[in-house]
Amino acid sequence: MDLILFSCRARFASFFRQKKLQRVLLLSLGIIGSALYAWLFSFLLAKADQGGVNPGVQQVLQYTNLSLLAIIILRGFFPAYIPKAQVIQRIYPVRALQKFWTEFVVELVSPFYFILLNFLVLLFLMSPEYTLLHLLQSVLVLFTAHVTLRSLQVFVERRMRWLHINFISAAVLAGGFVALQARVPMFTASEEWLYLIVHIASLGFLIAANFFVEQAAAEPKRREVTYSTNARRSLGWRLFKNHKLAKQMILFGLVFKGFFLAVDAFSAYKTGTHIFDKNVVMWIFVGPMIIYSYVFNNSWGFYKNLWLSIERSSGSYVDFLKASLMPLRVPLMMDAALTCLYVTLFNHDNALFIFSLYIGSVLLLTPFGIIVSIISPKAIKGGLFSFEAKSSYFYNFLGMALYAMLFLPLLHPVLYLIYPVLIGVMFFALAAVMREYATYKYKLFETLFKAEA
């Protein structure tokens, strides 16, 4: 118990050791957001109880638990994989069971779980339909999602000894959990306290299975990096393939964009009208704005070793610009292919505008991304759901504002004349920044390579 308390205090203190004011403000924002969502779900429960919405109370409670389950599990993988916390290294002389419980409890001490728990408690206080039994059941769902995420992280990070007695024990216990959940699903709201005992028993099976899975895991998996002796052999593809964090964030952004394009395609198929015609803001998902705001407004935060290699090898502006375009090549081709597929199959009417918008946005956002990567770099830490932003919020919003100005031809075709003006100003700004690059490069090095005290 002393080890658990000490580790929890140390983890709590680590959250606010750096940038205390910023992290306190973000935590406060999370608490306010949880209160707003609690009010929204309580409103839905009240309407469902009165028959005002189609799903009943049981369905709304079920959606609440399923949302918890999905958010917690997906948080560890999308848009970037979050490694499992190693509170106690394997070489330390700590018993396996004590190490397991310490890490299990310490991982729950995080702002993310505090905000989720705050949401559940506020929902319980606001909604009479959300009883104490439902609250406890949702807490069990939270624990179940956390244990599931832990198990998946072990499979991702470690090599598994499939024929070991520990893995066989884990498989048997996991089978017990699945059998109980198939009979009485935990996410389905229940009205009898006896079901809560069944859920606690199934959660116990899952926790025990997670313990044996960790014992059956061997040393960490080796990271595979694609090398080549041919300098001209798709270096852009290798940059995309080998940088796991950037790749996952880009893929998440493309899936996010594809979802909205699919919604528009479905709307056009069913009603004959596009959602982009009703809401101009939705045009942001047609261009490549998402992959820029996710990654390429902070290229050197992700590809800092590439920047350092170019800086130390030649330092010429031509090489610098080539290196800036190299990581962008493959993701931009994937994004362009997705847009072309959408235009070819579902949106012929706006083809001219979409292609003009796409080409103009590439010519506008590429120099803008290089500028932002130089004057506002950020070191990459943790996943997207951590307190560390991957790129500058201010410059992301500025980029979206500039990108939104490319929508003006929707008002009148003569406003296409704004394209060369915006692109020309942006290239002029790039030239001005490159002239001052000799001073900016020191800030880049300090930001990307200087360790925090």
Q: Evaluate whether residue 228 is within a structural domain.
A: no
Q: Are 253 and 211 in the same domain?
A: no
152 and 291 together in one domain: no
Under a CB-based contact definition with an 8 Å cutoff, are residues 293 and 399 in contact? yes
Q: How confident is the model at residue 453 (pLDDT cuts 50, 70, 90)?
A: very low
| Residue 229 included in any domain | no
Burial readout 202-234 (b: 16 or more C-beta within 10 A, e: otherwise): bbebbbbbbbbbbbbbeeeeeeeeeeeeeeeee
Query: Would you give the distance in Å from CA 318 to the centre of its chain?
Result: 34
Average pLDDT over residues 313-327: 81
How do residues 327-377 score in pLDDT, each as one tens digit?
A: 998 999 999 999 898 888 887 777 888 888 899 999 999 999 999 999 988
The whole domain housing 112 covers 2-220
- Choice among 84-93, 156-165, 195-204 with the minimum mean pLDDT: 84-93
pLDDT in tens, 10-33: 777 777 777 778 888 888 898 998
Length of the chain: 453
What is the signed CA dihedral for 263, 264, 268, 271, rounded to 10 degrees? Answer: 60
Contact of 373 with 448, CB cutoff 8 Å:
no
Give the DSSP H/E element, type plus range, for residue 158: strand 158-160
Q: What is the pLDDT of residue 89?
A: 73
% pLDDT > 70, the chain? 91
Distance CA(102)–CA(240), nearest Å, equals 37
The tens digit of pLDDT for each residue in 254-296 reads 888 888 888 888 877 777 777 776 677 777 888 899 899 888 9
Higher pLDDT, 302 or 283: 302
Q: Count up the domains in the chain and report the number.
A: 2
Distance set, CA 241 to CA 19, 67, 237, 336 (Å): 33, 31, 6, 18
Average of per-residue pLDDT values in the chain: 83
* Same domain for 85 and 185: yes
Q: Could you tell me if 180 and 270 lie in one domain?
A: no
- pLDDT tens figures, 402-422: 998 988 888 888 888 899 999
CA nearest neighbour of 86 among 116, 71, 107: 107
Residue 222's pLDDT band (cuts 50, 70, 90): low
Examine the fold and report which residue of 160, 193, 220 is the final residue of a domain before the chain moves on. Answer: 220
pTM for the whole thing? 0.61
> Same domain for 97 and 190?
yes
Whether 42 shows a pLDDT value over 60: the answer reads yes
- For 295-336, the three-class secondary structure string (H helix, E strand, C coil) is CHHHHHHHCHHHHHHHHHHCCCHHHHHHHHHCCCHHHHHHHH
Mark whether 168 and 252 lie in a shared domain.
no
Cβ pair 118, 34 in contact under 8 A: yes
User: Pick from 162, 190, 220: which residue ends a domain?
Assistant: 220
